[in-house]
Amino acid sequence: MGLLAIGSPLDWAEAKQHADHVREHGIEQFLHIWHRLKDRTGDVLLWGDEIEYMVISYDDEGKNARLSLRQTEILEDLQHDASERKKTSPGREACIPVFHPEYGRYMLESTPGAPYGANLEALLSVEGNMKFRRKLAQSRMHSNEVPLTLTSFPRMGAPGVFTDPYYPPGGGVARSLFLPDEITNPHVRFPTLTANIRRRRGAKVAMNMPLYIDTNTPRPFIDPNIHDRNIWPEDANARDGAALPDHIYMDAMGFGMGCCCLQITFQACSVNEARRMYDAFVPVGPIMLALTAASPIFRGLLADVDCRWNVIAGSVDDRTEEERGLAPLKHDRFVIPKSRYDSVDCYIYDCDSNRPEYNDNDMPIDPAIKERLMQDGVDELLATHFAHLFIRDPIVIFEETMNQDDSKSSDHFENIQSTNWQTVRFKPPPPDSPIGWRVEFRSMEVQLTDYENAAFAVFIVLLTRAIMNLGLNFYIPISKVDENMHRAHQRDAVHSQKFYFRKNLFSPAPGHGCSPLPSAGHALNGLPAHINGRANGDDTQSSTCSSHTTSPRSHSPTCEKAEFGPVEDEYDEFTINEIINGDGKDFPGLLGVVRKYLDSLDVEKSTREQLEKSLELVRRRADGSLVTTATWMRNFVHSHPAYKHDSVITEEINYDLIRAVDEIERGIRKEPTLLPACYEGSSQAKEGDLFKACCGDVMDIANGAKVEKGL
């Protein structure tokens, strides 16, 4: 979540009156940024991860694992520790991890103290940094609490006790039959977001995930826990058909925004490199969702899907009936096919390789906004992108920030931009900041261990370098990417599904006919692999961001038009194994191109070996020699003695599952189907285990102290 402004939020009836104001000024704010920074080049590669945790509270006597609602106290303590550290270690702020609040009152988010720089060695410190952050989080928890990186909490919203302290379901904000309002971060932004989404929609949100039908599951499955209630008008929703038989019905924002994920943000060297990276990430989104699948259980029931994405999409779906196409348009302006949380709707790189045929989705735009942007020289693709995001209403408006200086603020812009939650986000620089154009990769589910989270982060970082340095082209029609999102959710998608992917990754390279490729042989955006750059403005870092790589189509009158065949000939259906590991013939796979990129660098043997340890996880999850987190969880449930093969996850099964996850993370419990034998758990981190922080300092994982000796 972004910054938390303090103020008085407007309720929906009033916020609605100001929607045009926010949109209009939001676009003006973007134009100020655009005019100032569209030609800015030469920013260095910076990147950083975000990891979200659930605070688990054990009740060992009652054999129950619950969500601890102590976010506020834990964060205050962590922030206190961070400011103490800053006092005792002036100038080393970059070493001090940052913790943020999240939607769930049991959630924490952490990021490194500063983004990582453009050097391969940084990649070797990612796991240590993540472990350090987990240690810090743990250090401020009670002895029965633990920070776990679970994507969805299996029994959230199930009957019984799933929070600590206990609150009965209900409350006027979400009006859920299953969740108490107390599950939500109490900062006024979050209840307002929750209530205004419900009010705008005119009903509670409704997610129905297909139930996994086991041998003893009653058919049709009519959930006995969907009880009748007559307090709020919305209590009629379930009665009136919002809850489907043979599905897991969920009725509140917390079910989705209360999930955890792993996100990676990159700073590109220019706006055009960011747009190119954005487009390349789009088809990769569903592939990585399938590969990181980690959420097979919702509301105490085993699902027939493995991923969180559709649950979150539904959980903030504020579209009215008219917008959902269920009633003729009378009050609203558009029929909108997707929730504001969903997969990307259009490619944005302004280049011949981005053929118009790829943007084949039915995608409403606000024509006046598109015209306004183009009037000021924004090209059609980017104008279309924002004219699409800006069909949405602002959901939370703070009275105090209504009137802003559009040349100095981006609040109104961010209000709409950051409540469009897509698989990839194109992030313009904030006004008055050294930060450049960024792209965020958002589809991955968080993994149980930091070894895995680091491995997926490292893989995505190396993939961006391969994309840029080898001039890779991943374009396929967006409608096929959407189909892939659907397939990625399916149970055991790594084995059960095929995915659309581009057949020839090398041709024509994006930039063909408009911008030559960056020169080859550069590590991580232009640095020789051995340079130990620092994240914070170390100007020993140069950039390959030449004027060539940044010149948009219109600036290259001499460029030749690429010759294209039918779009349908460009892609095929592949297994995840083929997409990642190659087909053994012409198609190298994403790991193939990453290795090709690494081969082109002068990488020290020990560095390469360590990187290969990360890549091994990606390779083996894709080839099926290791299972996904979701599959491991399913197997655990199926082999649990208390499981009755009726799709129900009891408190006892949940407790044992959470304990097992915890023990895996610590390295006490070995799960050779899930993790390679080399995995050492975090409990193995003892004083003297070192990692290199992003500031370049060498730190002790066990206590975060700076140490003098090298790694």
The least CB distance from residue 72 to Mg ion, in Å, is 17
Nearer to ligand ADP, 52 or 578 (CB): 52
* Residues 87-106, mask of contacts with ligand ADP (x by CB under 6 A): -------------x------
Determine which residue in the list 29, 111, 410, 415 makes contact with ligand ADP, applying CB under 6 A.
111
- Out of 106, 190, 212, 266, point to the residue binding ligand ADP (CB under 6 A): 266
Angle at the Cα of 289 (from 610 to 526), degrees rounded to 5?
45
When the beta carbons of 203 and 269 are compared against ligand ADP, the nearer one is: 269
Report which residue type is found at 683: S
How far, CA to CA in Å, does 131 sit from each of 43, 629, 680?
29, 19, 11
Q: Is 194 in contact with 253 (CB distance < 8 Å)? A: yes
Tokens 């919002």 map to which residue?
Answer: 242
How far is it, in rounded angstroms, from Cα 119 to Cα 596? 17
State in angstroms the smallest separation of the CB of 647 from ligand ADP: 35
User: The tokens of 357 are what?
Assistant: 């045929």
Q: Which residues fall within 8 angstroms of residue 142, CB to CB, at 6 or more apart? A: 57, 68, 70
Minimum distance of Mg ion from residue 604's CB (angstroms): 32
- What is the x/- site pattern for ligand ADP, positions 226-265, by CB under 6 A? -------------------------------------x-x
578 lines the binding site for Mg ion (CB under 5 A): no
Query: What does 169 bind: Mg ion, ligand ADP, none (CB cut-off 5 to 8 Å by kind)?
Result: none
Out of 49, 50, 414, 700, name the contact with Mg ion by CB under 5 A: 50
Which is closer to ligand ADP, CB of 49 or CB of 350?
49
Which partner from the list Mg ion, ligand ADP, none does 258 bind, CB cut-off 5 to 8 Å by kind?
A: none
272 binds Mg ion (CB under 5 A): no
Whose Cβ is closer to ligand ADP: residue 301's or residue 461's?
Answer: 461
Strands 64-68 and 163-164: parallel
Please report, as residue ranges, which positions from 10 to 69 form the binding site for ligand ADP (by CB under 6 A): 46-50
* H/E segment holding residue 71: helix 71-88
In Å, how far from its chain's centre is CA 672?
27
Rounded to a whole number of angstroms, the minimum distance from the CB of residue 85 to Mg ion is 21
Q: How many of the chain's residues bind ligand ADP (CB under 6 A)?
A: 17
49 binds, among Mg ion, ligand ADP, none (CB under 5 to 8 A by kind): ligand ADP
Please list the residues that pair with 698 across neighbouring strands.
Answer: 692, 707
Q: Which is nearer to ligand ADP, 47 or 499 (CB)?
A: 47
Inter-residue contact 622 to 581 (CB < 8 Å):
yes
Nearer to Mg ion, 232 or 421 (CB): 421
- Pick one of ligand ADP, Mg ion, none as the site partner of residue 267 (Cβ within 5 to 8 A by kind): ligand ADP
CB atoms within 10 A of CB 191: 20
CB within 8 A of 558, min separation 6: which ones? none
Closest by CA to 291, choosing from 586, 635, 587, 590, is 590
Q: What residues form DSSP beta bridges with 436?
A: none
Q: What kind and span of H or E run contains 655? A: helix 651-666
Nearer residue to ligand ADP within complex by CB, 193 or 649: 193
Nearer to ligand ADP, 115 or 300 (CB): 115
47 vs 571 by CB, closer to ligand ADP: 47
Residue from 129, 267, 631, 682 that binds ligand ADP (CB under 6 A)?
267
Report helix, strand or coil for 583.
coil
Cα–Cα distance for residue pair 389/228, rounded to 1 Å: 37
Report what 46 binds from Mg ion, ligand ADP, none; CB cut-off 5-8 Å by kind: ligand ADP
Q: In this structure, are residues 417 and 42 in contact, taking their beta carbons and an 8 Å threshold?
A: no
The one segment of 42-50, 159-167, 463-471, 566-574 that binds Mg ion by CB under 5 A: 42-50
Which x/- pattern over 429-468 shows residues binding ligand ADP (rule: CB under 6 A)? ------x--x-x----------------------------
Q: What pairs with residue 51 in β-bridges?
A: 110, 262
Q: How many CB atoms lie within 10 A of CB 569?
A: 10
Q: Is 414 in the site for Mg ion (CB under 5 A)?
A: no
Among Mg ion, ligand ADP, none, the one that 435 touches (CB under a kind-dependent 5 to 8 A) is ligand ADP
Smallest gap from residue 1 Cβ to ligand ADP (A): 6
- Which region, judged by CB under 5 A, interacts with Mg ion, from 25-33, 78-86, 261-269, 640-648? 261-269
Residue (of 383, 370, 416) closest to 397 by Cα position: 416
Contact with Mg ion (CB under 5 A) among 185, 263, 343, 449: 263
User: Which one of ligand ADP, Mg ion, none interacts with residue 706, CB within 5 to 8 A by kind?
Assistant: none
Q: Please give the DSSP secondary-structure letter assigned to residue 517.
A: P
Shortest distance in whole angstroms from residue 51 CB to Mg ion: 9
The 3-state DSSP class for residue 68 equals strand
> Nearer Cβ to ligand ADP, position 94 or 238?
94
Cα atoms in the 13 Å half-sphere on the side-chain side of 329:
6
Q: Provide CB contacts within 8 A for 447, sequence distance 6+.
A: 149, 262, 292, 294, 453, 456, 629
Least gap, CB of 103 to Mg ion (angstroms) = 6
With binding defined as CB under 5 A, does residue 109 bind Mg ion?
Answer: yes
Distance CA 334, CA 319 (A): 10
Query: Residue 438 or residue 489: which is nearer to ligand ADP going by CB?
Result: 438
From 256-264, 336-344, 558-566, 686-694, give the range in contact with Mg ion by CB under 5 A.
256-264
Give the interface size with Mg ion as a residue count (CB under 5 A). Answer: 4
Minimal CB distance residue for ligand ADP: 48
Angle between the N-to-C axes of helices 126-139 and 450-470, in degrees from 0 to 180, rounded to the nearest 10? 140
What's the CA gap between 392 and 348, in Å, rounded? 19
Q: Tokens at residue 51, please?
A: 């990891």
Indicate whether 1 belongs to the interface with Mg ion (CB under 5 A).
Answer: yes
Q: What is the DSSP string of 474-499?
A: ----HHHHHHHHHHHHBTTHHHH--E
Between 217 and 263, CB nearer to ligand ADP: 263
Contact yes or no for 618/608 (Cβ under 8 A): no
Q: What's the CA gap between 239 and 605, in Å, rounded?
A: 64
In this structure, what are the phi and psi dihedrals at residue 170, rounded to the nearest 5 degrees?
A: 120, -170
One-letter identity of residue 457: A
Residue range at the interface with ligand ADP (CB under 6 A); choices 107-115, 160-168, 480-488, 701-709: 107-115
- CB atoms under 10 Å from CB of 538, counted, come to 15
> Which is it for strands 421-422 and 107-111: parallel, antiparallel or unpaired?
unpaired
Question: CB under 5 to 8 A by kind: which of ligand ADP, Mg ion, none does 452 bind?
Answer: none
Comparison of 270 and 581: residue with beta carbon closer to ligand ADP: 270
**Least separation in angstroms between CB 405 and Mg ion:** 24
Token representation of residue 470: 């080898």
Please report, in angstroms and rounded to a whole number, the separation of the first and last CA atoms in the chain: 34
- Please report how close the Cβ of residue 545 comes to ligand ADP at its closest, in angstroms: 14
Residue 578 binds: one of ligand ADP, Mg ion, none (C-beta under 5 to 8 A by kind): none
| Interacting residue ranges for ligand ADP, rule: CB under 6 A | 2, 46-50, 100, 111-112, 115, 263, 265-267, 435, 438, 440
**Interacting residues with Mg ion (CB under 5 A):** 1, 50, 109, 263
